[in-house]
Structure 1
Amino acid sequence: MEVGKVPTDILKEVIFKNIQHKRSEVLVRPNIGEDCAVVDFGENVCVMSTDPITGAVKDIGSLSIHISCNDIASNGVEPIGVMMTILAPIGTTKEDLSYVMQEANRAAASINVEIIGGHSEITDAVNRMVITTTAIGKQKKAAMVTSKGAQVGDHVIMTKHAGLEGTAIIAADLEDQLRKAIPQEVIDNAKGFAKKISVVKEGVLAGTVGVNSMHDVTEGGILGALWELAEASQVGIEVYEDKIPIASETLKICAELSIDPLRLISSGVMVMAASKEKAQVLLETFKEHAIEATMIGKITKEEKVILKGTTKNPLEAPKTDELYKVI
């Protein structure tokens, strides 16, 4: 298999097929495109998600907090706590660990989340630091939002701009290489995208307004996330490529490295499906809170397609993220 997420067909055949024992308290289980597990606690539910950081070197303390909390936000709920597991290679110093934890603490404080536990060790099983975080949130059962609720006729909205996280990672980790062809100001702006990684604010707002489905955009980029949202809901989707916002910094960096910004890891971006009426309210709400948001498609009955001008092509399942071609 290639670097990156395990392909969806293997997930179904090998991973999901071997998760057989079920408990009645579990309301949302593993599925393609589903961000969180949800467990019944009576009037409330416990929302949980876990994710590793493997594609970045710099800023991993901050990224590790945001990626799991973003998953919780995709259920329309505010995360409460995060547990961290740090696997560090031999040679890691006290200062290295201190830097990562200071980063993580700042990120957690910025979204009002507490680091509530975890594990840390030095091991020869890794050749660079790997951090896995598990985020936890609490929600009223009646307010649950999942990835699989999209309805035919829904409008599809995305926040911010495609390739956000990948652009920030590449600008930070490949700065010396990029500097030969791209102005320093562009690189610095791209590194600044790391400050936009959290989607907690828009996730909670969308949960308040009311949406049928939400999914945060990670490996596979915006096109991968849209495919996953449709697949989770067992519906079709029509994506308008020309309407997908891409920052000029992302376009310049991706052109220089010959990678596709639409299939570049994009934590910091949320996609959501909502009725026509709710979608309009959502766009207005985001505007009031200074959150970039764009209507980029609609939910259909069966076909997953992407339109560019008059050209219609199949929207394919996510493959290896473009980040791994250069990092």
Structure 2
Amino acid sequence: MEVGKLSLAAVLRELEEAGVRLELDANEVDGLLAAVNPAVGVPDELLGFFAFHYSASNVAAAFGRPEFALLDLVLPPGYPEDKAFSIIRSFASECRKYGARLVGGHTGRYEGAEYPIASSAVMGRRVRVRRPPAEGDAVYLVGVVGTEAAWLTGAGVGLEELTPLPKALRLHGAEGLKLLHDVSEGGLLGALLEISTFYRCTIIVERGGVPVDPRAPRLGEPLSLPSYGALVAVAEEGSRLEDFCSREGLDCSWIGRVGGPGAGVEVDGVVFTTAPPSELVALYAPTVAGREEAAAVALAASRLLRLRGLERFVPEVGMNIAYTKPGARVEEDVAAIEGRIIRTVRGLKLCGKPAYGASRHLARVLIEAARRDPRRRAAVNLRPSPELLDALRRLGLKVVEAEARGACPVAEAIAAGVEADAYFYEAAPGLEPSLVIIADSPASLAELLERALSLLSRKADIA
């Protein structure tokens, strides 16, 4: 399933045919720069903040100063009024902080809205002229790659690190600066490709010059990591932008240069025409983004969906994977998938997003397990096939059979002092056969199952 922005090149073609002349980031209308963006998939308490900053940052990147703002708040049926007003107050607070006037908007609850969506429009007057890049211009990164990725996975990241707006406003005074572009969907590579597409120029990047936030997860292509809060700056060669940024207290790194006419971003000799998608996009959900345990469950679930052969071991009731907060005492301290992972004729399907309190069964198991060993914080349930049990034993796991009694046989076995890495029980009245594997993290469970399936695949090949 594709998510994210549509192709910039395709959008440009469509709008040019409709007679619309676009600029990058924000368009000028009767002397005002205007930008519009939705904020969705972040915790409700941050919607107002991001709704303002997404659009205001676009205006600032286009060398405008935000002056007017509108907010459109689309809510799911039954959404609490007090939470809606909290979003509005947060948006208005950011407007005041940056000297913009909130001049209107819309609110409403609608069928079809799964999460709240806060869309904003921000307008402001241009304070300097944006110039197109030319061959030989220097390309800088103001900020670092991966700070947003670190926040998504639950690292301690301050809100001011998650917006490029203050940086863009300070950079309005930099001599020799031609243009700015915020780093949003697609990461740094996506932002560079948008500049390349819009201005029909190539960009040459040296990977070694790109700073990466040490808190960011090491997942996939680093240049595609979510990195909102950073800016790409293009400046005349010899502009001394790094000196200006140093005086302004901004991190600034030379990362490459503008090449000749064409399209694409060359990174250490490898040409990219599209940005490889980051698996961290799975974390954009109100119950997941910025929450360590829920984020870890989402990433592991995404990995499990790609494991070939896993569908054979998914129970009729579905599979779930859970991760507990340190020191968990109640079900709401344990994150799991709301609707589980189920088998379909087209393969495995994820039903719902991770949420705290979503699995009573695995929560009971993990709370009991963590009482005895705080490192045992993750669990997954499967169908206890003899071949899978054998593969787990061959990988060195201690696998024991629990007595099928009570509402949660595995939790009762652990409470009775039975120590193991994996517990299974056969069918009993009201209970489907089940296997529960316990580990230190959801990622460890996904890796373990990948190894087990690899063993089974090799065994099948030999047979």
Report the TM-score range of the alignment, normalised by the length of the smaller protein.
Answer: 0.7 to 0.9
Tell whether the 8 Å contact from 1:3 to 1:320 is kept in structure 2 after alignment: no
Change (3 A) 1:248 1:302: same
Change (3 A) 1:236 1:53: same
Change (3 A) 1:166 1:131: farther
Match of 1:288 in 2: 247
Change (3 A) 1:120 1:11: same
Change (3 A) 1:150 1:156: same
Shift of 1:53: 1.3
Match of 1:150 in 2: 133
Whole-angstrom distance in 2 between the partners of 1:216 and 1:54 = 18
Shift of 1:80: 1.0
Whole-angstrom distance in 2 between the partners of 1:323 and 1:52 = 19
Match of 1:183 in 2: none
Deviations 1:83-116 (A, max 9, x none): 1100010121022112212322332233222222
Matched, 1:324 2:281: yes
Change (3 A) 1:157 1:326: same
Could you tell me which amino acid in structure 2 is paired with residue 80 of structure 1?
E
Match of 2:162 in 1: 197
Aligned pair count reads 281
Match of 1:111 in 2: 98
**Structure with more contact order per residue of length (Cα contacts < 8 Å, sep ≥ 6):** 1
State the superposition RMSD in angstroms.
2.2
Secondary structure of 2:84's aligned partner: helix
Using structure 2 for the length normalisation, give the TM-score. 0.57
Matched, 1:55 2:41: yes
Whole-angstrom distance in 2 between the partners of 1:169 and 1:111 = 25
Deviations 1:269-296 (A, max 9, x none): 1111111222x1x221211121111111
Match of 2:258 in 1: 299
Match of 2:87 in 1: 100
Change (3 A) 1:202 1:195: closer
Match of 1:5 in 2: 5
Tell whether the 8 Å contact from 1:76 to 1:208 is kept in structure 2 after alignment: no
Using structure 1 for the length normalisation, give the TM-score. 0.78
Residues 106-115 or 88-97, more deviating: 106-115
Match of 1:249 in 2: 215
Could you tell me which amino acid in structure 2 is paired with residue 271 of structure 1?
V
Whole-angstrom distance in 2 between the partners of 1:48 and 1:199 = 17
Change (3 A) 1:163 1:116: farther
Identity value in percent: 20
Tell whether the 8 Å contact from 2:221 to 2:276 is kept in structure 1 after alignment: no
Change (3 A) 1:203 1:9: closer
Whole-angstrom distance in 2 between the partners of 1:89 and 1:319 = 32
Give the counterpart of 2:52 among 46, 65, 72.
65
Match of 2:236 in 1: 275
Structure number with greater Rg is 2
Tell whether the 8 Å contact from 1:151 to 1:212 is kept in structure 2 after alignment: no
Matched, 1:30 2:22: yes
Whole-angstrom distance in 2 between the partners of 1:112 and 1:164 = 26
Tell whether the 8 Å contact from 1:50 to 1:132 is kept in structure 2 after alignment: yes
Residues 206-215 or 217-226, more deviating: 206-215
Change (3 A) 1:3 1:320: farther
Whole-angstrom distance in 2 between the partners of 1:163 and 1:113 = 29
Shift of 1:138: 0.8
Tell whether the 8 Å contact from 1:4 to 1:320 is kept in structure 2 after alignment: no
Whole-angstrom distance in 2 between the partners of 1:39 and 1:12 = 18
Could you tell me which amino acid in structure 2 is paired with residue 240 of structure 1?
E
Whole-angstrom distance in 2 between the partners of 1:154 and 1:86 = 41
Deviations 1:173-230 (A, max 9, x none): xxxxxxxxxxxxxx22x3x2x2223323332333322422221111111111011112
Deviations 1:11-42 (A, max 9, x none): 245x325523x6xxxxxx226xx1111124xx
Tell whether the 8 Å contact from 1:84 to 1:134 is kept in structure 2 after alignment: yes
Match of 1:26 in 2: none
Tell whether the 8 Å contact from 1:265 to 1:322 is kept in structure 2 after alignment: no
Shift of 1:320: 4.6
Secondary structure of 1:324's aligned partner: helix
Could you tell me which amino acid in structure 1 is paired with residue 242 of structure 2?
L
Could you tell me which amino acid in structure 2 is paired with residue 296 of structure 1?
I
Whole-angstrom distance in 1 between the partners of 2:242 and 2:9 = 35
Match of 1:181 in 2: none
Give the counterpart of 1:164 among 132, 144, 147.
147
Change (3 A) 1:114 1:170: farther
Change (3 A) 1:8 1:72: closer
Secondary structure of 2:50's aligned partner: helix
Matched, 1:236 2:202: yes
Give the counterpart of 2:189 among 223, 240, 256.
223
Secondary structure of 1:204's aligned partner: helix
Tell whether the 8 Å contact from 1:202 to 1:286 is kept in structure 2 after alignment: no
